[in-house]
Copies of this chain bind each other. A is one copy, B any other.
């Protein structure tokens, strides 16, 4: 259950040339991942896409997993930053606050729909671990926001509330992006706002 250390680089790139190589490998890894999923992200394919010999991958990474791990780490970090920014940047009051958060989050997911698709559909162990870390940080963020807005926590189990809200919002929005269901964007946002807003109001009067 504990996350292992990310495997260190085999050799630390010191010259400009090699730093550029590592960069090309990671960029290529990202494109290949987005285009063909984890299934199709073979080392040879990544090397070819990077315009690099297969052996060059192993100058800097100990194995394939380390490459994809780094690629996913970068992508998830970007996505997390985007979401955190959206979340913090949409602070209004009451129902408006909820809807603002949701709109911002949805925009972030739509903007990275390909990444969301790959990360949600294929899912090797490495992604699982990243997702857990990601989710835990968002849990904490939301719990903090709840406490800030309602310091009179009383008997409300804030952590449980935050945990549940995060799963709810995460999956409803992601499902909407991936499934493209017969539910319009506004209708979905209306209902989700009602769901979350009603719940919060109920818990805190």
Residue numbers of A with Cβ under 8 A of B are 39, 121-124, 128, 132, 157, 159-161, 163-164, 167-168, 170-172, 175, 179, 181-183, 187-188, 191-192, 194-195, 198-199, 202-203
Is chain A's binding surface mostly helix, strand, loop or mixed? helix
User: Across chains A and B, which 6 residue pairs bring their CB atoms closest together, nearest first?
Assistant: A171-B171, A160-B183, A198-B202, A195-B199, A167-B175, A160-B187
Number of copies: 2
Q: Considering only CB atoms, which chain B residue lies closest to A172 in the complex?
A: B167
Expressed in whole angstroms, the Cα–Cα distance for A194 and B201 within the complex equals 11
From A39, A161, A179, A195, name the one whose CB has the most chain B CB atoms within 10 angstroms: A195
A183 contact set on B, CB distance < 8 A? 157, 159-160, 163-164
Choose from B168, B191, B202, B203 the contact partner of A161 (Cβ within 8 Å). Answer: B191
Q: Report B-chain residues with C-beta under 8 Å of the C-beta of A182.
A: 159, 163
Partner of A163 from B121, B160, B167, B181 at Cβ < 8 Å? B181
Question: Chain B residues near A168 (CB, 8 Å)?
Answer: 168, 171-172, 195
Please name all residues of chain B whose beta carbon is closer than 8 Å to the beta carbon of A179 when the two chains form the complex.
Answer: 132
B residues less than 8 Å from A181 (CB atoms): 163
